[in-house]
Amino acid sequence: MNPYLIILFLIFFDLSFAEMIIGRETISPGVNIVFEGAPKDIVHPENYFLNETDTDIHIEMLANWSDEAPEGSPLGGFVAYLGVSAVIESANGKINHVQLTPHLNMSDNLHYAQNIKLPGTLDELYSITFTIYPALENKIGIHYDWDKMVGKYVQQSTFTYENLDFKDIALSTRR
C-alpha cells in the first residue's frame, strides 16, 4: 500500500481521541444538552479530581444556549450554575453516583464533567441517568424582566440512556 495514503489516513482519521455521544436533548428555556463519554484525562487541580490512572472514562455534559433561547442569550454560550448528577449502573447491578462539575478544555471550552471509574468491567453494558438541577436560589440572581418573560432559569430534567458500551472509549487515549 502507498505509504503516503497511510500517513494521510492517520492524519485525517486519528482515532486516539474520539468522544462517544450518549445523547442529545433540549430543555427549556432553549438549552441544548449533549451527553458524552470521553477518554480519561488529567484534570487540575489533580488532588481534587480522580487521577487519570484510576479513571475509566471522562463523562461530560455540554449545556449551551440554542437559537430558541430567550433574547439576550449568547448563541452557543455556556449555561452556568447548573447542578448535574449521573448514576451509572452496570449490567450486574453495581452503581456509581457522580456529581459533574464545571470543567474547561480546548475542545469543548466550559462544560460539566468528571473522571469516573465504571462500577463494573469494560465488557459490560451500562445505563446512565443524568439529572440536571436548576441553580440554587442563592447562587444566581434572576432579574425582574427574566422572571416575568421566562420564569425559572431551568426546570429539573432527567434523562436515561441504556445499553451503553464504553469499552472503546475506556481503552482510547487523549495523548
**Spacing of C-alpha 94 from chain mean position:** 21
What class has domain 16-171?
Answer: mainly beta
- The string of pLDDT tens digits covering residues 44-81 is 999 999 999 999 999 999 999 999 999 999 999 999 99
Task: Write out pLDDT tens, residues 144-155.
Answer: 999 999 998 999
- pTM equals 0.88
Q: Please give the average per-residue pLDDT across 75-97, as a whole number.
A: 97
* In the chain, where the domains are located: 16-171
**Per-residue pLDDT tens digits for 153-166:** 999 999 999 999 99
**What pLDDT is stored for residue 7 in this prediction?**
44
What was the pLDDT predicted at 14? 45
The yes-or-no verdict on residue 23 having pLDDT over 90 is yes
From residue 53, how far is each of 57, 92, 138 by CA, in Å? 10, 24, 37
Residue 143 has pLDDT above 80, yes or no: yes
% of the chain surpassing 90 pLDDT: 82
pLDDT band at 9 (very low <50, low <70, confident <90, very high): very low
Q: Which residues contact 68 (CB under 8 A, 6 or more apart)?
A: 26, 29, 30
